[in-house]
Structure 1
Amino acid sequence: MTRPSSPLWTPSRSLAPAVSSPFTRRSLLRGMMAGGALAAIPGLAGCGGDDSSGATGGGTATSLGSNFSDEVPQQALKDSIDAFIKKSGIKVDVNTVDHEQFQENITSYLQGGPQDVYAWFAGYRMKFFADQGFAGDVSDLWAGDMGDGFTDAFKQASTGNDGKQYFVPFYYYPWAVFYRKSLFEEKGYTIPETMDDLTALCQEMQKDGLEPIGFADKEGWPAMGTFDVLNFRQNGYDFHVSLMAGEESWESDEVKSVFETWRSLMPYHQKDALARDWLDSAAGLLNKKVGMYYLGMFVGQAFTKPEDRDDLDFFVFPALNEEHGTDTIEAPIDGWMMSPKPEDEKAAKQLLAWFGSGEGQDAYLKSDPNNVAASSDADTSGYNALQKKAAELVGASANITQFLDRDTRPDFASTVMIPSLQKFIGSPEDIDGLCSSIEEQKKSIFG
């Protein structure tokens, strides 16, 4: 695949992204919701946030499958839905399921019949399921007022291989290296620009009694972000996209060098990563026991006090290769899809149009300011410093990826990459054997 001739995302229309054709290689991450068919899948009964919100009066209703299972996004979603109910009078039956559980059972859920509206992700995996007939056509929403709030980039990321739209973007969030400004000021640390700088900073932090790099992979997905950034920093965007598409060998010197670089950073990572979830590492960053943390902007969920949130900042992961510099970042787009056969299509599309509106996204971000609104109609005047900086970062980046398990086949991501990366974390010695195993499995899946 050739490098795009223009930036994938440009800071037009309130810094909403603009993308070129390589966006078709991208797709998803964690799981989603349940109810109905999901109730029959072991371990996928709805968790804590299950809720039936309703307006007074009669019968118009729709159902929503949600993967917003963490406390902050769960409340924020409720706020947005409550505002929708108040405005429309449409009842919304919400069922929330842990996102990791759903990731493992997404195909069974979709085959069994999803709820009217369900949470999902832009790009490759949206297309993957749309191709199989698991998504309803929402092209009419894009042709209406809702579509006016999005750049062509968002529309492209929401378009299936048949040219129809199957997705409504809700928000996006960049991945970067997060840190506390007061800790860096107190210790006299400087922002690293190269790998040598990063290594030297890690060594300083260790001398100061800190764990330099927060790291957690109990859920299986966080380590994918580390692989991604090392790969596109070292080998460039084009190689990374081709690798995710199954077009490059996992036994290549390029891939092996990624794992070798990662292994060299292991002494600076938090130990016992497979027994720790991402919020545990975020708490370490909050409590100044961890110096830095490469994660999505949602790390801010751990920073609930205003003074702590104001102290949170980020920098892009340093350059590894002068040829590629820091020209690529990850900034996944989360949003919503519709069942191919909703019980009430009109009500379902009204809810989707709400989620795609600036008003609907404002209602969400008021309670969860750890993302950036996808619609250019959203009110950015209330953005905190982190949101403003994130929008600027995305707008200025030449290339955007969606995250490993959104950029490749779902079966390859879940059955091959999660266990392979966890095996590497637990025992990073045999890189040749690891790469050989991944390549063999890749061939059987991609054909």
Structure 2
Amino acid sequence: MPGDKKAGTGLFGLTRRNFLVSSAAVIGTGLAAPAVRAQSGVTLRFLNNETSAASQAALRNACDEYEAKTGVKIIIDSSPISGSMEKAMAAINGGQPYDLMTASFIATVLEFVHAGVLVPLTDMVKRYDWGRGAAWDYEGENWYYPFDYNLVMNYYRKDLYAEKGLKIPETSDQFLENCRALTVLDGSNVDVGGCVVPLASDSATNWAAFGNMFAEGVELFDGDWNVVLDQGENADRAKRFLDLYAELYKTMPPGMNTVSFAQLMSLFATGKSAHTLYSGRLVEALEATNPELADKYGVFASPGSSGGKALSYAFDGFCVFKTPQSEEALKFLQWFVDEHYVDWLLSAWMNNHPARMDIYENERWKSHPMIQKHWETMMTMKSFIESDDVVIKAIDTSGPSIDIRPCTVFNANVMPEMLQQKALGNAPSADCIAAAAQRIRSLI
């Protein structure tokens, strides 16, 4: 079983053995079916990484309603995505794990699965049809209940494209030329970037930076889990991607080595970059901070050198932990997705790009004024998950199946550091690829 491999220890050293040693006093060893009626006096703890005011309010309203109906109190602890894994780990190691959590990366979920601390949600998930890649299973079970995609789209300025006579790029060379055409220099320095593609050693880079690489058809592993990043034609594809990145980097604004989630949005929203990479949340940010620009953007998938298209992605979903309150946590989550799922999606109306396909026909969801205003963008996102011509892939979903090995690569920031060697260290692409491949082999 993959979880028995040495690599299964993961970034935080969380294993089934050390979890049980540290928390055996509070974790139940078996789970019955959810209770028919909730028991008053029960308190659930929910770690939420959706920290916008609207999302926190939607969750709080649902929890208050549930407490009024059942007597079950739910304490919400909100933490940004960048710190939620560490917060959940600290709770586990302190002997007081959360009962529920929102999770955003497969690498995070599999860390917990390998530790044996999650409750499968398979029966709940199987009730609905899901978009491509959303409701993945591992060892025959679904370990989270999805609520959105985080497809990494290229945002561009329609007004600037019109001024320069540019067209949506069909190849990576065309994308590079567009970025060069829209770069504004102040002397020898970039004042307005042609694009923003991150390279810091963090989850933002792992998530956002590799759409063009996947569009080239680069694979990290073959069907037998051999590392092939530096092998044959695959190495040639990876080289084309790194050569492209090095040229794109020259069009980017300064400070790219520290750019993370917030800056990917703000540089575009403030007019400091003509392209950026982000999910639907950027549309919400434009409406909130620069509504004039909210009428001047467009989106497209990352192109490869031969015209292939790809989007990197992550997801968001709910997880339930094994605790003495697991039955009540399952009961609450089932009630929540039955009664408040649409409210939750609408609390982040564009970022919560539905993973559950029936939502696209939900009248209350469709009639939201901002979804109506940005309907073209929403339908473009929907087309990406429905089209077999667009690759949807991520660092932590690389390989022949969902597995801890690509998650280990994600957690160790192997691929962001390959970008750094190329863009900051000016190393030959072949050397960067060889070093990354060797590091992957040493990790797994």
With the shorter chain as reference, the TM-score category is 0.7 to 0.9
Quote the residue 1:375 is aligned against: 356
State yes or no: 1:395 paired with 2:371.
no
Quick one: which amino acid aligns to residue 246 of structure 2?
A: R
Q: Judging changes above 3 Å, is the alpha-carbon distance between structure 1 residues 123 and 410 closer, same or farther for their aligned structure 2 residues?
A: closer
The residue correspondences of 1:62-101 to structure 2 (distance < 5 A) are 62-69=44-51, 72=52, 75-87=54-66, 89=68, 90-101=72-83
Alpha-carbon shift at residue 392 of structure 1 (Å): 2.3
Alpha-carbon shift at residue 154 of structure 1 (Å): 6.5
Alpha-carbon shift at residue 357 of structure 1 (Å): 4.1
Quote the residue 1:220 is aligned against: 202
Alpha-carbon shift at residue 263 of structure 1 (Å): 1.4
Alpha-carbon shift at residue 107 of structure 1 (Å): 6.0
Paired with 1:112 and 1:392, the residues of 2 have a C-alpha distance of: 44
The residue correspondences of 1:36-51 to structure 2 (distance < 5 A) are none
What fraction of aligned residue pairs are identical, expressed as a percent? 15
Alpha-carbon shift at residue 83 of structure 1 (Å): 2.5
Alpha-carbon shift at residue 312 of structure 1 (Å): 3.0
User: Contact 1:213–1:290 (CA<8 Å) still a contact in 2?
Assistant: yes
Quote the residue 1:119 is aligned against: 102
Paired with 1:284 and 1:390, the residues of 2 have a C-alpha distance of: 22
Q: Judging changes above 3 Å, is the alpha-carbon distance between structure 1 residues 313 and 128 closer, same or farther for their aligned structure 2 residues?
A: same
Quote the residue 2:326 is aligned against: 345
Q: For the pair shown, which has the larger CA radius of gyration, 1 or 2?
A: 2
Which one of the candidate residues 172, 179, 185 is aligned to 2:156? 179
Paired with 1:227 and 1:277, the residues of 2 have a C-alpha distance of: 11
User: Contact 1:338–1:348 (CA<8 Å) still a contact in 2?
Assistant: yes
Q: Judging changes above 3 Å, is the alpha-carbon distance between structure 1 residues 138 and 103 closer, same or farther for their aligned structure 2 residues?
A: closer
TM-score by length of 1: 0.72
Deviations, residues 232-274 of structure 1 (Å, cap 9, x unaligned): 22235xx356499553144634433322222122212223201
Moved more, 259-268 or 294-303: 294-303
Quick one: which amino acid aligns to residue 356 of structure 2?
A: S
Alpha-carbon shift at residue 422 of structure 1 (Å): 3.8
Q: Judging changes above 3 Å, is the alpha-carbon distance between structure 1 residues 441 and 294 closer, same or farther for their aligned structure 2 residues?
A: same
Alpha-carbon shift at residue 372 of structure 1 (Å): 1.1
Deviations, residues 182-215 of structure 1 (Å, cap 9, x unaligned): 3333444321212232232223212687311024
Which one of the candidate residues 233, 248, 262 is aligned to 1:265? 248
Alpha-carbon shift at residue 391 of structure 1 (Å): 1.4
The residue correspondences of 1:409-424 to structure 2 (distance < 5 A) are 409-417=406-414, 418-424=416-422
Alpha-carbon shift at residue 399 of structure 1 (Å): 5.3
Deviations, residues 90-137 of structure 1 (Å, cap 9, x unaligned): 322122233223456876665655310112246566345324312112
Alpha-carbon shift at residue 172 of structure 1 (Å): 1.1
Quick one: which amino acid aligns to residue 393 of structure 1?
A: F
Counterpart of 1:427 in 2: which secondary structure?
Answer: coil
Paired with 2:172 and 2:443, the residues of 1 have a C-alpha distance of: 34
Paired with 2:143 and 2:283, the residues of 1 have a C-alpha distance of: 30
State yes or no: 1:160 paired with 2:143.
no
Quote the residue 1:190 is aligned against: 167
Quote the residue 1:434 is aligned against: 432
Which one of the candidate residues 313, 331, 349 is aligned to 2:298? 313
Quick one: which amino acid aligns to residue 292 of structure 1?
A: H
Paired with 1:203 and 1:101, the residues of 2 have a C-alpha distance of: 36
Alpha-carbon shift at residue 377 of structure 1 (Å): 4.3
Q: Judging changes above 3 Å, is the alpha-carbon distance between structure 1 residues 187 and 400 closer, same or farther for their aligned structure 2 residues?
A: closer
Alpha-carbon shift at residue 87 of structure 1 (Å): 4.5
State yes or no: 1:278 paired with 2:292.
no
State yes or no: 1:199 paired with 2:176.
yes
Quick one: which amino acid aligns to residue 394 of structure 1?
A: I
User: Contact 2:159–2:296 (CA<8 Å) still a contact in 1?
Assistant: yes
Counterpart of 1:64 in 2: which secondary structure?
Answer: strand
State yes or no: 1:247 paired with 2:227.
yes
Quick one: which amino acid aligns to residue 173 of structure 1?
A: N
Counterpart of 1:76 in 2: which secondary structure?
Answer: helix
Counterpart of 1:363 in 2: which secondary structure?
Answer: helix
Paired with 1:346 and 1:304, the residues of 2 have a C-alpha distance of: 40
RMSD across aligned C-alpha pairs, in angstroms? 3.5
Deviations, residues 304-335 of structure 1 (Å, cap 9, x unaligned): 3454434332112223125xx22x32342210
Quote the residue 1:289 is aligned against: 272
Paired with 2:241 and 2:229, the residues of 1 have a C-alpha distance of: 13
Paired with 1:184 and 1:364, the residues of 2 have a C-alpha distance of: 32
TM-score by length of 2: 0.73
Quick one: which amino acid aligns to residue 316 of structure 1?
A: A
User: Contact 2:216–2:238 (CA<8 Å) still a contact in 1?
Assistant: no
Alpha-carbon shift at residue 63 of structure 1 (Å): 1.0
State yes or no: 1:362 paired with 2:343.
yes
Counterpart of 2:287 in 1: which secondary structure?
Answer: coil
Alpha-carbon shift at residue 413 of structure 1 (Å): 1.8
State yes or no: 1:304 paired with 2:287.
yes
Q: Judging changes above 3 Å, is the alpha-carbon distance between structure 1 residues 105 and 349 closer, same or farther for their aligned structure 2 residues?
A: closer
Alpha-carbon shift at residue 355 of structure 1 (Å): 5.0
Q: Judging changes above 3 Å, is the alpha-carbon distance between structure 1 residues 224 and 362 closer, same or farther for their aligned structure 2 residues?
A: same
